[in-house]
Amino acid sequence: MKAVAVHGANDLRIDERPEPVAGHGEVVIDVEWGGICGSDLSYWKHGASGTATLKSPLILGHEVAGRIAQLGAGVENFDVGQPVTVHPAELVGDGVMPERLAGRTNLYPHVRYFGSAAFDPHTDGGFSERKRVRASQLRSLPDGVDTLRGALAEPLAVAMHAVGRAGSLIGRDVLVNGAGPIGSLVIAAAKYAGARTVIAADINDASLRIAKSMGADEVLNVASGGALPDDVELVFEASGIPGVLGSVLKATARGGTIVQVGNLPGAPGLSAIGDLVTREITWIGSYRFVDEISDALLAMADGLDVSPVITHKFAIDQAAEAMRVATDPTSGSSKVMLQLS
């Protein structure tokens, strides 16, 4: 079968891999769609993502959906042909967490994640024609949610987890800084959660057009003279750019809250963050998700339309071109999708 694998920095290949066979408690799915994420791009461009460095070829992809092709022994409540998406996290070890973190499995210290080089051997992702998966990681797609949108359940879960970190959004005014794929999904999730108004800020007009179609009430291009608003009580920082933190803090109201959903780099970075103290701002981190992937599927079945975030589709053999489009700020891309089988 074909698989999209990165062998090193700027070395992406369509490999031929053995056909998977479902073992006990496992299924094999025909993977139909996969969404390209920032970590996929980082492995391709740099041979690393965060502190995880490639030591051997890695099949990319953790945003996938498809149909069950094969059931292993002991698998119940699933059928061949059933459309599913996959929770890409698998806890390594006993899964026991301190009481203060009960239920927050996204903070468990040892997690294998689809398409990650954090462990050696690496954890292959789902950018392949077929993928063997533990049945416990499957999430059935509800009626009305096809596999294309089902592949968006994982990034929408990231956005919904971030929104949940802020508490109730009903009647609140929100600023989302950074209107890339995650920022745009945060906009949709915030409106779905009852936010009164959402302002989106970015430096790219194409991204802001997508933000508008995802539910933003107002958009601001901060590269062409648009300043961030003043005194916003709740801000979602989705750019992950350390240099913007000073202006984001200044836009946050005294006693307000920032949810940091954009993944900040691990290296030291400079930013003027004195307002964090003098304005008594609450700064909350948001990392991946627990089981909000199930909430994401229910929200889409309930009518939450996140399809405007999809801007490009490529066949599996065009994976290299898809990666280039996803990293090109002039391409107008947001979520770039691969049709895998």
Based on the domain organization, do 186 and 316 belong to the same domain?
no
Overall pTM > 0.85: yes
Based on the domain organization, do 106 and 63 belong to the same domain?
yes
Is the pLDDT assigned to residue 20 strictly greater than 90?
yes
Tell me the per-residue pLDDT of 38-49, one tens digit each, with 9 for 90 and over. 999 999 999 999
Whether residue 317 contacts residue 188, with contact meaning beta carbons closer than 8 Å, is answered with: no
Q: What is the CATH number of the domain that holds 61?
A: 3.90.180.10
Based on the domain organization, do 100 and 184 belong to the same domain?
no
Q: What is the mean pLDDT of the chain?
A: 96
The answer to whether residue 294 is domain-embedded is no
Tell me the per-residue pLDDT of 118-177, one tens digit each, with 9 for 90 and over. 999 999 999 999 999 999 999 999 999 999 999 999 999 999 999 999 999 999 999 999
The answer to whether residue 35 is domain-embedded is yes
Q: How far is it, in rounded angstroms, from Cα 264 to Cα 50?
A: 9
% of the chain surpassing 90 pLDDT: 95
Domain containing 124: what range? 2-152+306-339
Q: Which two tokens stand for residue 33?
A: 């769609």
For residue 218, name the pLDDT band (cuts at 50, 70, 90): very high
The answer to whether residue 291 is domain-embedded is no
Based on the domain organization, do 211 and 248 belong to the same domain?
yes
Total structural domains within the chain: 2
Based on the domain organization, do 230 and 257 belong to the same domain?
yes
The answer to whether residue 182 is domain-embedded is yes
Based on the domain organization, do 36 and 104 belong to the same domain?
yes
The answer to whether residue 27 is domain-embedded is yes
Q: What is the CATH number of the domain that holds 273?
A: 3.40.50.720
Residues contacting 243, CB < 8 A, separation 6+? 269, 270, 271
Cα–chain-centroid distance for residue 10?
22
Which pLDDT value is given to residue 202? Answer: 97
% of the chain surpassing 70 pLDDT: 100
Based on the domain organization, do 135 and 174 belong to the same domain?
no
Based on the domain organization, do 98 and 170 belong to the same domain?
no
The answer to whether residue 209 is domain-embedded is yes
DSSP H/E element including 150: helix 147-150
The answer to whether residue 293 is domain-embedded is no
Cα–chain-centroid distance for residue 73?
32
Based on the domain organization, do 320 and 208 belong to the same domain?
no
Based on the domain organization, do 38 and 110 belong to the same domain?
yes
Q: How far is it, in rounded angstroms, from Cα 234 to Cα 221?
A: 19
Based on the domain organization, do 188 and 219 belong to the same domain?
yes
Residue 286, CB half-sphere, CA atoms under 13 Å: how many? 30
Which pLDDT value is given to residue 217? Answer: 98
Q: How far is it, in rounded angstroms, from Cα 21 to Cα 17?
A: 12
Tell me the per-residue pLDDT of 255-304, one tens digit each, with 9 for 90 and over. 999 999 998 887 777 688 999 999 999 999 999 999 999 999 999 999 99
For residue 191, name the pLDDT band (cuts at 50, 70, 90): very high
Based on the domain organization, do 166 and 208 belong to the same domain?
yes
The answer to whether residue 37 is domain-embedded is yes
